[in-house]
Amino acid sequence: EVSNGLNDNINENNTTTSKSNKRKQQMTPSSSQRSASHSLVKRMKRSKSSQITMIPLKPNFKLPIYLKTHPNLLFRTLRLLLKHTLRKKSERQFLHSRLQLLDQQCRLELRQNLWQSYLNLGTEKEVWPNVVMKMAKTDEHLVCQQFVQKRLNEMKIKYDQFTNELRTQLQSCPVTLLQLQSTLDQHLKELIQIQQKYLATKMQFQLKRYEDMIKEMESFQSLSSFPLTSDQQNTIDRLIHLQEKQVQFYEDLEKLEARISIDFLPRSFDELEDFIVVNDYFPLIKDNIALEFKQNSYKIIQEAKRTWLNTYVNVYENQIEKFQHQYEVVLHQFEIANSSHACINNGTTTTTTLYQSFLNYINRRTNRLKEEIAYEKISLYRKQLLRVQRRLKSSKKMVTVKPTVIVDLLYHPFTAAQLDYLSRGPTYIRPNPSIFFPQKTLQKRIDREHDDTMKKLKKYMSSVADLPKIPLNSPLYKSYSNQLRSYLSQSYMTLIPLIDQIRALRELKMIQSIRKKLKKYKLILRETDKSGVLHIGSAIDYERKAAEYRQTTGAYEELTSNPYNDIICQVTRLLNQLKSLNRIREWQRIKLMPARKTTELAYMYFIPKPHKKGTPLRPILNTIHAATKQISQFLDKLIRPLFDRFVRQTTFVDGADLLDQLQKYIQKGYFNASTLFIIFDISNLYTMLPQEESLAILAEFLHTHNCERINGLSIDTIIELARVVLQANAFVYNKKFYRQIIGGAMGSAFTLTLANIFMWKWERQTILPKLPSHELYGRHIGKSVPFLDVLVQNNNGILASSLYHKPSAEPTVVSFLSDHPRHVFRNVIQTALTRAVRYSSTFEIFNNERRAIRLMFLYNKYPSNYINQQFEKFFADYMSSTSSSILPMITNESQFFALREKLSNQPTAKQTQVAMSAAAVDLLQITQNVTQPNTNNMEATIKRKNDKFKNNLFIHVTHEARLKGLAREIHIIHDNHFKNTDYGEIRLIVGFRNNPNIEFELSRKRPSSSVLKDPLRKKRKPNGIDGNGMNT
């Protein structure tokens, strides 16, 4: 990845130069551009003057990446490690030469250890690895043993030569480094071990494969110890032959997946593109119509290629399954015939049947063949493909199958490398961003992580019931704090391989270059509404469409002045008034009261809908710091559980819930060949809600269900709080102030609940009275219909269901290259497979979806081996343990339906959430009024029960790849202080917060703080000093 990225940087610079030569001749640089270019030249000259020659000491030395690229990063690392400035060129040259010698010696030492293991195991087992037999050109035991011994002797001589050369080279050590001489080699070896970590891992894996090969040979010898009849030998040969046929097709499938992963498909796919593209019909005028035509053509070709890929994979899988079926039939016959043929193993008293012995051998053989394909053949094949791909890089750019950024422009300034980077998706997080933080910024992060953890720890410990309270000034907290701060500092200062630093620096520069172009050319980058990819459009186009939206809906009015003070006063006045009338309690007033210091105006931004004609925009209102945020959340937590309880029968929580309800409908005998599915699509529901009518319906909803009071609040109080949420809804857009006069804010917690209650009224009036009692209630009428993420069909009275893929949706998940916690990638795969099993009504539908899921992960850079491992874990309980399955998949319908039944009986996370919300409602009878004796008034109490997490302490730390093991170390620190105490039953759970993703880094949604925050704070000076220098 790093080597590719370095080439990308070179190509990026070349591309930018070649594309912009003519334009640069016509442009006059501004003063800022000139000063920037001059400072850049100065930096280049300064760095060149102190630069050293990064060349090998000897012609036969092959420099690793960290010694031949990015010398500035190398010596930056050495400065931190040695705590020395290294300003002199002689110091750098000496250290670079010494690193070369030590690197060669350390590599040799790793090889020595590996070959010594070869000698020990080979001498004992009389089995030698393939690499030894290939180099010795024989498989004879004594010859191989002598060859390995000779090789080790040569390595010893070479190692001693390096030692002598290092001793001689040390004599040329600059005087300024003499004070470091005693620990210099120790520090340099520490650096080298970090850089060679991948090499040590590789050699450990080679040794493990050799050990597995020895076990395979032993299992073969055990099988050979049986006196085989000719029929038995023929059957074993037949089984091995069938396995080899499977492996052959498996290798071809892996090669296809290797092509997909590097986006270099077989030539036949390019021929498909030439067949589909019709240039004769391409519009001559380069306008928006031409752009839309081009985008539609691209999408058609892309989907055709993806469909063809699914077909390709299906063909390979069918071939493998065909031979797998034949294999299982022959194996079953072999088991019946030979389960009673037993033999005592050599040196033990264990009795093994012929069938068990063969199974042990064939499974080990299968694993070895798969590893050879994955780590030898496919690795070599991939390198060959990359060489061919680089050679053909200048040729015609073909349509890719992976999700790509949508550039809604006729001409754009971005290079191919930049567009490819943005195509990693909006959730992509660049790796290890804190490496290049200034020291002060890094220390602030360490302090924030430490202070946040200690604050949560002390707060939790002080609130635990039935346990003695720990004083805040306890030495226990002091010790905990010191150890935590020490480890955090150590973690953030620990060196990482230079190859990781190179990648982090490259991606930092990539983000900076894209950000500059977005600003320079007045472009806007946003995540799309449905597609799950990034979209780039012009700011002028966004502003035009935003104005059209405001005019079309009529939901907004422009304000002539900043409404900040008016909103603060309106909310504060209402809360104080309600408290004075004893309609809310004091703690509620304090909780809901906005604080001037942290309160900000809401702001609006738009996200594009490229799947619709003309790419319309969808408004989003960010109210995270708005004056009414606390009231909105308070009302949502108050009303949402009531809705979940009283309207559950006419609510489909998710696609799985729809299928559950349909299954009950079928069991009652109502589903037949004439049953139709009907759904309604309501446009701009949140935006176009009539405010006063919505509040009246909210009151009606509460009256209808006899909820006269909720947690002590009357309906009138709830309506007044809801009214201020809707009416005090001012926001900033493009440095102008607006107020929403219709509907509610898309982004406010209470708006969704209010919209659902509004639809409850419409349902009762329009739909439910006209439906028979047994019918299910959930634009399109027909035999099939998509709802949420499930597609249901009526096939002559038989319900068919499958996962619904919206035409606009791209096969995107979080990129495997992203710096997310590792469990995220496992969860993404498990979730995708679980949903596919739940929604697929037949085994055939599931297999088609499973292939699409696998391709989706390949598009997003998930390695084939990783996908196989996660698929095997998912299907582990349903795959046959007696057969050597090549593909990680279930192979018959009975296995599939057993898995589907198990998952369908488990509620989804959303279903559990709604059930818990509804269960939180506790209804109590209010004493009846004498004047109205027949009323059935109730008081609703919403109780949030968190007993499940009663003994859990949650803390969060920022995740970075280089901080691996941080959570484990925090657990160790916690156990050292609390494990054997009264607090030992408290379970510490360390979660992760992520660094900003590229959509956040590049989107620029938030206006300036000066527009959002309290306008009066500008007039105040720090420390209470006014503009005249007087204390206030």
pLDDT digits (tens, 9 = 90+) for 936-953: 677 888 886 666 777 889
b/e 30-55 (16+ beta carbons within 10 angstroms → b) = eeeeeeeeeeeeeeeeeeeeeebeee
Q: What is the mean pLDDT of the chain?
A: 86
Are 830 and 852 within one domain? yes
- Pair 998, 429: CB distance under 8 Å: yes
Tens digits of residue pLDDT in 995-1014: 999 999 999 899 999 999 99
Which of 906, 924, 948 represents a domain boundary (last residue)?
Answer: 906
Distance, CA of 480 to CA of 243 (rounded, Å): 58
- Asked if the structure places residue 304 within a domain, the reply is yes
Structure tokens at 473: 């000034």
Residue 658, Cα to own-chain centre: how many angstroms? 28
23 confidence band (pLDDT: 50, 70, 90): very low
Structure tokens at 571: 């909310």
Answer with the residue of higher pLDDT: 256 or 768.
256
Region 887-897 average pLDDT: 88
CB-hemisphere CA count at 13 Å for 115? 23
Distance, CA of 651 to CA of 763 (rounded, Å): 11
C-alpha closest to that of 267 among 416, 398, 379, 378: 398
* DSSP 8-state class, residue 735: T
Distance, CA of 979 to CA of 986 (rounded, Å): 9
Report phi then psi at 537, rounded to 5: -135, 170
The pLDDT assigned to 1027 comes to 38
What residues contact 570, with CB distance under 8 A and at least 6 apart?
724, 727, 728
C-alpha closest to that of 622 among 710, 714, 506, 749: 749
Judged against a pLDDT cut of 50, whether residue 359 lies above it is answered with: yes
Region 569-582 average pLDDT: 95
The pLDDT assigned to 396 comes to 63
The pLDDT assigned to 892 comes to 84
C-alpha closest to that of 212 among 267, 89, 268, 130: 130
342-344 and 351-353 beta bridge pairing: antiparallel
* Long-range contacts of residues 158-162, Cβ cutoff 8 Å, at least 24 apart: 158/108, 159/105, 159/108, 159/109, 159/112, 162/101, 162/104, 162/105, 162/108
SS (H, E, C) 112-158: HHHHHHHHHHHHHHCCCCHHHHHHHCCCCHHHHHHHHHHHHHHHHHH
Judged against a pLDDT cut of 90, whether residue 699 lies above it is answered with: yes
The pLDDT assigned to 384 comes to 94
Distance, CA of 429 to CA of 814 (rounded, Å): 9
Are 60 and 208 within one domain? yes
- Pair 200, 106: CB distance under 8 Å: no
| Least confident stretch, 520-524, 630-634, 656-660 | 656-660
| Least confident stretch, 220-229, 350-359, 833-842, 923-932 | 923-932
Q: Would you say the C-alpha torsion 270, 276, 279, 282 has a positive or negative sign?
A: negative
- Asked if the structure places residue 418 within a domain, the reply is no
Tokens 């894996």, residue?
Answer: 205
Distance, CA of 347 to CA of 131 (rounded, Å): 30
Which of 859, 878, 906 represents a domain boundary (last residue)?
Answer: 906
* DSSP 8-state class, residue 1021: B
Region 978-1003 average pLDDT: 93
- Helices 288-338 and 230-261 pack at an angle, to 10 degrees, of 160
Judged against a pLDDT cut of 60, whether residue 730 lies above it is answered with: yes
Judged by DSSP in three states, 262 sits in coil
Answer with the residue of higher pLDDT: 616 or 16.
616
The pLDDT assigned to 294 comes to 82
- Helices 71-82 and 89-125 pack at an angle, to 10 degrees, of 90
C-alpha closest to that of 689 among 760, 754, 638: 754
Structure tokens at 384: 């060959």
In 3-state terms, the chain is what percent helix, strand and coil (to 5)? Answer: 60, 10, 30
Distance, CA of 1013 to CA of 602 (rounded, Å): 10
Region 450-475 average pLDDT: 90
Answer with the residue of higher pLDDT: 919 or 696.
696
394 confidence band (pLDDT: 50, 70, 90): low
- Pair 245, 884: CB distance under 8 Å: no
54 confidence band (pLDDT: 50, 70, 90): confident
- List C-alpha distances in Å: 150 to 112, 141, 531: 12, 14, 62
- Helices 498-520 and 2-26 pack at an angle, to 10 degrees, of 30
- Pair 896, 837: CB distance under 8 Å: yes
Structure tokens at 326: 């034949």
- List C-alpha distances in Å: 609 to 521, 606, 675, 877, 881: 22, 10, 33, 42, 48
- Asked if the structure places residue 196 within a domain, the reply is yes
The pLDDT assigned to 283 comes to 55
Region 458-467 average pLDDT: 87
730-733 and 736-740 beta bridge pairing: antiparallel
Which of 219, 236, 260 represents a domain boundary (last residue)?
Answer: 219
569 confidence band (pLDDT: 50, 70, 90): very high
- Asked if the structure places residue 108 within a domain, the reply is yes
Judged against a pLDDT cut of 50, whether residue 1025 lies above it is answered with: no
What residues contact 394, with CB distance under 8 A and at least 6 apart?
none
- Asked if the structure places residue 793 within a domain, the reply is no
What residues contact 271, with CB distance under 8 A and at least 6 apart?
none
The pLDDT assigned to 653 comes to 85
Which amino acid, residue 595? A
Judged against a pLDDT cut of 70, whether residue 697 lies above it is answered with: yes
779 confidence band (pLDDT: 50, 70, 90): very low
37 confidence band (pLDDT: 50, 70, 90): very low
Region 98-120 average pLDDT: 96
For 814-838, give the DSSP string: --TTS---HHHHHHHHHHHHHHHHH
Region 290-300 average pLDDT: 83
H helix intervals, 339-438: 354-372, 378-391, 416-422
Judged against a pLDDT cut of 80, whether residue 1020 lies above it is answered with: no
- Pair 782, 676: CB distance under 8 Å: yes
736-740 and 556-559 beta bridge pairing: antiparallel
Q: How many domains does the chain have?
A: 3
Are 377 and 280 within one domain? yes
Structure tokens at 951: 């003994």
The pLDDT assigned to 681 comes to 76
Are 141 and 259 within one domain? no
- Asked if the structure places residue 584 within a domain, the reply is no
| Least confident stretch, 235-239, 842-846, 976-980, 1018-1022 | 1018-1022
Answer with the residue of higher pLDDT: 289 or 848.
848
784 confidence band (pLDDT: 50, 70, 90): low
The pLDDT assigned to 28 comes to 39
What residues contact 307, with CB distance under 8 A and at least 6 apart?
none
Region 713-739 average pLDDT: 94
Are 171 and 298 within one domain? no
* DSSP 8-state class, residue 497: -
For 564-597, give the DSSP string: HHHHHHHHHHHHHHHHHTTSS-HHHHHHHPPPTT
The pLDDT assigned to 267 comes to 87
The pLDDT assigned to 466 comes to 80
Residue 996, Cα to own-chain centre: how many angstroms? 12
C-alpha closest to that of 400 among 238, 208, 263, 559: 263
Structure tokens at 35: 């000063």
Are 239 and 204 within one domain? no
Are 102 and 165 within one domain? yes
The pLDDT assigned to 235 comes to 95
CB-hemisphere CA count at 13 Å for 915? 8
The pLDDT assigned to 879 comes to 66
Region 394-413 average pLDDT: 86
- Asked if the structure places residue 665 within a domain, the reply is no
- Asked if the structure places residue 348 within a domain, the reply is yes
Are 130 and 152 within one domain? yes
CB atoms within 10 A of CB 252: 15
The pLDDT assigned to 30 comes to 41
Region 437-463 average pLDDT: 94
Which stretches does DSSP call E strand in 761-888? Answer: 780-782, 784-787, 790-795, 798-803
Are 242 and 94 within one domain? no
Region 547-563 average pLDDT: 93
Structure tokens at 1012: 């959002």
Distance, CA of 835 to CA of 362 (rounded, Å): 34
Judged by DSSP in three states, 463 sits in helix
What residues contact 79, with CB distance under 8 A and at least 6 apart?
85, 86
Report phi then psi at 979, rounded to 5: -60, -45
Are 205 and 124 within one domain? yes
The pLDDT assigned to 341 comes to 67
Structural domain of residue 213, as residue ranges? 50-219
The pLDDT assigned to 280 comes to 53
780-782 and 736-740 beta bridge pairing: unpaired
Judged against a pLDDT cut of 70, whether residue 178 lies above it is answered with: yes
Q: What angle do CA 942, 948, 952 make, to 5 degrees?
A: 120
29 confidence band (pLDDT: 50, 70, 90): very low
Are 165 and 114 within one domain? yes
Are 282 and 306 within one domain? yes
What residues contact 688, with CB distance under 8 A and at least 6 apart?
553, 555, 742, 743
- Helices 71-82 and 498-520 pack at an angle, to 10 degrees, of 120
Distance, CA of 988 to CA of 895 (rounded, Å): 38
Q: What angle do CA 451, 593, 692 make, to 5 degrees?
A: 135
pTM of the predicted protein model:
0.88
